[in-house]
Structure 1
Amino acid sequence: MQYQADSVIDYISQLPEDRKAPVEKLRKTVQENLPKGFEEGILYKMIGFYVPHSKYPDGYHCNPKDPLPFINIASQKNFVALYHSGIYAKKELHDWFVAEYPKHCKYKLDMGKSCIRFKKIDDIPYDLIAELSTKLTVDEWIAIYENAVKRK
């Protein structure tokens, strides 16, 4: 589901009632644990945490007008999603997350390349997401991103 929101507060206000609290808690978990330098806003019609143009003027290679994305949170039709670009780009981080997940959640991990799907919104592993959010600084994310993009 896509929401036409101009701000994070506007995005959350449009969510179904049963999604507002979990999405807000997920947002707060990321906010409180993300290293300094990332900014928050609406990116790709979702809640986004990204590297601002003031820190990385080149922006995202697919569209340099967009800031460099890092984490997004979205309420989809059948789940709440956390998109984490670092999991996709850094194998060690991916492997760590996959190994840790069963220690924090009784349900099977439902994951794509960068998307973690939470179908049971009452069982989102917020502590694990908090720890995941601390794993990469802005400078580390830029270095990983540039290495991947410039290699192509």
Structure 2
Amino acid sequence: MKIKANTPDEYVAQLPEERQQAVLKLREIFRSKLPEGFQETMSYGMIGYVVPHSVYPAGYHCDTKLPLPFINLASQKNFIALYHMGIYANKNLLDWFVTEYPNYCTTKPDMGKSCIRFKKIDQIPYDLITELATKMTVSDWINLYEKQIKR
């Protein structure tokens, strides 16, 4: 499912109705619970939460014109995807998430390196994602990024 949008609102407006509410709820979690300094934008064709150049002028090492990505939210063909770079780069955060997941869901998490896939909208663990959103500040992410990812 490829969506062409210039703003997060345009992105949501193009989603199938059954996915709009879930994506809006996830957006609200990130907009209200991410620590100060992250900015909502469009990033890689998805809704993104990034460290803007005003905070981290070096930008993303793969393309320094882009702000430093942290979380992306996308509606894919068969699932809603949450890409969380903190989980990718911080084993302790990944371990915490995987350990907590069964307290919120009866299924195992469907995950890739940074991707968490939600195939059943009614099984998205919003409370767990709310807690996840609070776990890493902008400075935590920049420090981890510079140590673990930027080469």
TM-score (norm 2): 0.98
CA distance in 1, matches of 2:26, 2:57: 28
Does residue 94 (structure 1) correspond to residue 90 (structure 2)? The answer is no
Partner of 1:54: 54
* Equivalent residues in 2 for 1:5-84, closer than 5 Å: 5-84=5-84
Unaligned residue ranges in structure 2 (runs of 5+): none
CA apart distance, 1:136: 0.4
Size of the aligned set, in residue pairs, is 151
The ranges of structure 1 where at least 4 consecutive aligned residues each deviate by more than 2 angstroms after the TM superposition are: none
Partner of 2:113: 113
CA apart distance, 1:30: 1.5
CA distance in 1, matches of 2:72, 2:125: 16
Give a deviation string over 1:86-137, Cα, whole Å, max 9, x none: 0000000000000000101112210000000000101100000000000000
* Equivalent residues in 2 for 1:126-141, closer than 5 Å: 126-141=126-141
- Structure 2: which amino acid aligns with 1:93? L
CA distance in 1, matches of 2:76, 2:149: 29
TM-score (norm 1): 0.97
CA apart distance, 1:149: 3.6
Provide the aligned C-alpha RMSD in A.
0.8
Identity of aligned pairs, percent? 62
